[in-house]
Amino acid sequence: MLSKLLRAAVLSTGAAIATAFLTPAAFAAASDYRFELASARPAGPGKTDVTVRLVRARDGGPVPDAVIFQTKADMAPAGMPTMTGNVAPRAGQQPGTYRFQVDTGMAGGWALTLSAKVQGEPETVRATVNFNAAQ
């Protein structure tokens, strides 16, 4: 009886360890996440309000509470990589979305490049999201 209980305990401990190794967090990498454009709206002359969504690549689920520590905006999509615009963070509207006001002094194609720290993910997630600025 005792040995049976002991065996069950050992088995369940083993199962717990196996489960821990199989959780997505254990295998997570920066490529498990992606940024998507949620919206790009004019926000006054030469300014665009850009909202991006951070999602898990696996199931498209939102990833809240990421820390976006580096941003850059330029007109590389329009063949002007040296034309840059200031990026200022704004409060996001819903969990998993991140919002910025970008100084888009020129209408056309812009790229917003982001570096982010995701909770529980040691690798930095980097991505570029293209958007269009109206004037």
Binding residues (CB under 5 A) for Cu ion: these are: 75, 80, 83, 106
Give the closest residue to 112 by CA, choosing from 121, 102, 122, 120: 102
Q: Any idea what the Cα angle at residue 109 is, between residues 103 and 111, rounded to 5°? A: 65
Helix (H, G, I), strand (E, B) or coil at 80: strand
Q: Between residues 50 and 75, which has the closer beta carbon with respect to Cu ion?
A: 75
In whole angstroms, give the CA distance from residue 36 to residue 12: 40
Q: Shortest Cβ distance from residue 72 to Cu ion (Å)?
A: 15
Q: Shortest Cβ distance from residue 29 to Cu ion (Å)?
A: 34
In whole angstroms, give the CA distance from residue 124 to residue 30: 6
Q: Shortest Cβ distance from residue 50 to Cu ion (Å)?
A: 16
Q: Between residues 53 and 85, which has the closer beta carbon with respect to Cu ion?
A: 85
Tokens of 86: 């200031």
Q: Between residues 23 and 135, which has the closer beta carbon with respect to Cu ion?
A: 135
Q: Between residues 43 and 78, which has the closer beta carbon with respect to Cu ion?
A: 78
Tokens of 102: 């970008």
Q: Between residues 84 and 115, which has the closer beta carbon with respect to Cu ion?
A: 84
Q: Shortest Cβ distance from residue 69 to Cu ion (Å)?
A: 26
- To which residue do tokens 């840059």 refer? 84
Give the closest residue to 86 by CA, choosing from 59, 132, 50: 50
Q: Shortest Cβ distance from residue 123 to Cu ion (Å)?
A: 32
